Amino acid sequence: MEQRRISFSPPDITETEIAEVAEALRSGWITTGPRTKLLERRLAAYIETGETNIDCDTSKNTEKYSNRVVCLNSATAAEELNLRILGVGPGDEVIVPAYTYTASASSAIHCGAKVVFVDIQKDGDPVTHMPEMDYDKLEAAITEKTKAIVTVDLGGIVCDYDKVFEIVERKKHLFKPMESDGNPLNGLSSRIQKSIGRVAVLADCAHSLGASRIVAHTGEGVIEKQRKYCGAIADFTSFSFHAVKNFTTAEGGASTWVLSPSAYEGANKVTDEEIYHMYQLLSLHGQNKDALAKTKIGAWEYDIIGPWYKCNMTDIMAAIGLRQLDRYLGLLKRRKDIMAKYDAVSNQLGIKHLVHHTDYMDSSNHLYLIRVPGITVEQRNEIIEKIAEQGIATNVHYKPLPMMTAYKTIGWDIKDFPNTYDYYHNLITLPLHTLLSDEDVEYVCKVLKTVVKEVKD
């Protein structure tokens, strides 16, 4: 067998993205501007926040969709701004699965809150095998201090949001919304907390742009059962457009939100415009005029209304995203076809793998996790090394957070998360991306078969 070089997750960039970036550069507007605003509206249209009955190609008709999408420079920034808009800070607790990437937890720490880790279900969800939180343990972890739960749609598979919303509803009596101290951010956060009236559900959808699930609960409340895209389910959502993701803007991310109709009326009324505006302020120094507004002749003067952050998306990044979005449905389809080939070989070898599509859920096909039965951590690492010797890059998603120095220092111990450790110990993530040819996929399958047999026998 001739050796091939298989990268783990290179970006799929074509001449159309390159041409759009060149256009942005030539346009004279390279920071946050028209392309970023267009990408926000097109993403809103794609994930169906606001009006529905749309497809991916909304370039001609984006005005009618909501501006409930804010593009930023990363998912980490999106997660942090979601928490800050919600008013999470010192004295608050945020529940996070022990099985995730650091950004799901570190963003809460940046806000001064305490992270409370929860173990996953033994072997993950019974149908999809996704390492989803143990929902009994989640319910038990909610206290009077809990302000948010971070759910993680790992690999692109959508969590059981109905279950999560039912839990936060049941625990509603414990929730104490914050009072405003008069500053504009605080005032908005207090109204949002009062209108939500329970622990908020913050979805970490870093992997799951374009994934959907049939749900009966969203941030809107109980709804008629229907299929909803990630970004239109949880109270607040964060997406990642990092270079290794399905959909990329090199670095980048976005926030979205869903509030109940009652949040838009009454004494604690909010508007989408003020929420959108607060994201702009938080992501641009708290400056009340962005660069575009300041270009109007004579309109130089601005105010700083809070000592805030700098995490806006540039139009160069948005240019990549606009053209990626044109191609996105095709990219998802190719990933699905590759996964079908991986499924066949995994099934042959008796290897458990994520199930990305069911009758109630369609994943965004981001990561292909396999768990080789009956092996030790050392054997797992040996498999990874032997596969690498054949030129194939694999990965492990993830080394659990309680095993990481930063979280061990805070006092977390992996011994308290036995299901999380067990899930991790025999896990390998196979390369899954749209630059893989059919021959590459065949090669990965063949090498996997040989190496697993070699190490296990």
Ligand X SMILES: Cc1ncc(COP(=O)(O)O)c(C=O)c1O
Among 65, 99, 101, 443, binds ligand X (CB under 6 A): 101
Helix (H, G, I), strand (E, B) or coil at 94: strand
Residues 113 and 137: beta-carbon distance below 8 Å: no
**Whole-Å CA distances, 354 to 58, 156, 219, 446:** 32, 10, 27, 20
Sheet strand arrangement including 352-353: 352-353, 368-371, 427-430
Contact flags string 68-87 toward ligand X, x per CB under 6 A: ------xxx-----------
How many residues line the site for ligand X (CB under 6 A)?
A: 13
Report the residue number, 79 or 440, with the smaller CB distance to ligand X.
Answer: 79
C-beta of 75: minimal distance to ligand X in Å? 3
- State CA 322 to chain mean position distance: 19
Nearer to ligand X, 142 or 152 (CB): 152
DSSP 257-299: E---GGGGSSTT---HHHHHHHHHHHHBTTBSS-HHHHTSTT-
Percent helix / strand / coil, the chain, rounded to 5: 40, 15, 40
Q: In DSSP terms, which residues pair with 151 in a beta bridge?
A: 203
Near ligand X in 145-204, by CB under 6 A: 152, 204
Give min distance, CB of 132 to ligand X, in A. 13
Choose between 107 and 390: whose C-beta lies nearer to ligand X: 107
Cα→Cα distances 298→288, 294, 427, Å: 16, 8, 60
Closest approach of Cβ 74 to ligand X, in Å? 3
Binding to ligand X by CB under 6 A, coded x per residue (else -) over 201-240, reads: ---x-x---------------------------------x
- CB nearer to ligand X: give 39 or 206: 206
- Binding segment toward ligand X, per CB under 6 A, in 95-103, 224-232, 283-291, 326-334: 95-103
Tell me which residue of 390, 383, 350 sits closest to 452, measured CA to CA: 383
> Of the two residues 242 and 335, which places its CB atom closer to ligand X in the complex?
242
| Residues 188 and 278: beta-carbon distance below 8 Å | yes
Interface characters, 235-264, with ligand X (x: CB under 6 A): -----x-x----------x-----------
Give the residues lining the site for ligand X (CB under 6 A): 74-76, 100-101, 103-104, 152, 204, 206, 240, 242, 253
